[in-house]
Structure 1
Amino acid sequence: MTQYLVSIHRPDDYDPSVAEDEAMSRDIDALNAEMKVAGVRVFVGGLQPVSSAKSLRARANGTVLVTDGPYLETMEHVGGLWVLEAADLEEALAWARKAAVACRAPVEVRPFN
């Protein structure tokens, strides 16, 4: 079986205390339980707001520069993720469809090497 990253994307200004209601939390909890029962869930985790990110860049002299904020300046960032073990891409996409509905957010699916 192949492992897939299913990542949830949120806007920079996403505030879960405002955007996430009880219904959304129940939907995500139900999806997590369904994934666990199906035996596909390897790992799941939500991330703190992008404002808490630190970026590290190796420099030519061997030092590492640490800066506040995300590595990429974009309108959306990863807000959470699942690592799933699925038979194929179609199965991973079926779970990702459920994730997009439960999280009310765009979802990206990528296989691991």
Structure 2
Amino acid sequence: MPQYGVLIFSPAPADPMALSPEYIAALETYPAQIEELGGKAITGFALQPSTTATAIRGDVVTDGPFIEAKEVVAGFFVLEAPSLEVAVEIAKLNPATIEGGVEVRPLFEPPAA
């Protein structure tokens, strides 16, 4: 089954532990919704706030977020779904869409030899 990366965006600065009751309730029902649509969450991770980031560009190392933005990547997970269309439907139900947003990307698959 194809796999998709789902990037989770939250308002900056984002504290992954400061979740609203609405978000927590939606988060509890999300795994069942994924399965109902024929998908499977493979793995997922919440990131520490963007203020803890260290950016490297060439030889330059910068503490803190590299760019200023309204939203920052707060986490990600890998999703298996039968198609991009199903992956998008699953992502639309993600609780992160309440206060931020999500982005779905097919994972890179090297060409068969």
Is the pair's TM-score, using the shorter chain for normalization, greater than 0.5? yes
Q: Where does 1:84-103 land on structure 2 (aligned, <5 Å)?
A: 84-99=79-94, 102-103=95-96
Q: Where does 1:1-113 land on structure 2 (aligned, <5 Å)?
A: 1-15=1-15, 20-35=19-34, 40-59=40-59, 65-99=60-94, 102-103=95-96, 104=98, 105-113=100-108
Aligned residue number for residue 111 of structure 2: none
* CA drift at 1:92: 0.4
TM-score by length of 2: 0.76
How many corresponding residue pairs? 105
Runs of 4+ that moved beyond 6 A:
none
Aligned residue number for residue 62 of structure 1: none
Match of 2:93, SS state, is: helix
Cα distance in 2 for residues equivalent to 1:95 and 1:24: 16
* CA drift at 1:16: 5.0
1:84-110 deviation digits (Å, cap 9, x = unpaired)? 0111101100110111xx221211111
Cα distance in 1 for residues equivalent to 2:39 and 2:102: 21
Call closer, same or farther: CA 1:77–1:6 in 2, change over 3 Å.
same
Cα distance in 1 for residues equivalent to 2:35 and 2:85: 18
User: RMSD value over aligned CA atoms?
Assistant: 2.2
Call closer, same or farther: CA 1:69–1:36 in 2, change over 3 Å.
farther
- Larger proportion of helix: 1
Return 5+ residue gaps in structure 2 as ranges.
109-113
